[in-house]
Amino acid sequence: EVFDDDWYGSNSPNNENHVVDTGRWAFTKVKTDAWHYSNITNPYGLLRSPWNTNPVPYVMRSNHTEGSFADGYASLPSCSSFADELGSSLANVLNALNGELHGPVHIMIS
């Protein structure tokens, strides 16, 4: 139920800019002219990551990155992936939690 369109909206809205247009977060604006609010803005002064150069001032979602579905991931991290890392050093476990065991989850469910 929480992943239905009426809560978070579509995971890939069917409009030109992929603006979330359904659900609780429909047409949520991103802070504009944020240069004096935060040191982290995009080139258009929107309060978002500096590498996000999209000028559209709304929350957006898409399940494709540069034309690739789910950024190329085919599945969520598996139990065996976790088990493989648990047998190594703590540093390797923490590195994997920050990367391969965690990152794909954000991409696959967004």
Q: DSSP per residue over the chain, as a string?
A: -TTSHHHH--SS-SSTT-B--SSTTTTPBPPPSGGGT-S---TTS-SS-TT------B-B--SEETTEEGGG--SPPPHHHHHHHHTS-HHHHHHHHHTTTTHHHHHHH-
More confident residue, 73 or 38: 38
Q: What is the pLDDT, as a whole number, of residue 56?
A: 96
Tell me, yes or no, if the pTM score tops 0.75. no
Q: How far apart are CA 110 and CA 96, in angstroms?
A: 20
Q: What's the rounded mean pLDDT across residues 55-63?
A: 88
